[in-house]
Amino acid sequence: MAQYAPEPPYDAGTPAKAPAEVTKIMRDMFVEFNKDAEKIGREAYSRYRDG
């Protein structure tokens, strides 16, 4: 997932700096996207690997 680390007063652009509830909301929003991205990446890798 992309991160954006802005300057203060908006200093919450990484999971380490964001409030826990915001991090959870964002992770929950991207569950399906992350699954799809991993599947596509694995398929592309196997095509590349197998020539």
SS (H, E, C) 1-51: CCCCCCCCCCCCCCCCCCCHHHHHHHHHHCHHHHHHHHHHHHHHHHHHHHC
Tally the domains of the chain.
Answer: 1
Does 44 fall in a domain? yes
- pLDDT value, residue 9: 73
Does 37 fall in a domain? yes
Kindly report, residue by residue over 1-50, the tens digit of the pLDDT: 566 766 677 777 788 888 999 899 999 999 999 999 999 999 999 998 88
pTM given for the model: 0.56
Structural domain of 39: 20-50
- pLDDT value, residue 5: 64
Does 14 fall in a domain? no
Does 4 fall in a domain? no
Backbone angles phi, psi at 41, to 5 degrees: -65, -40
Does 2 fall in a domain? no
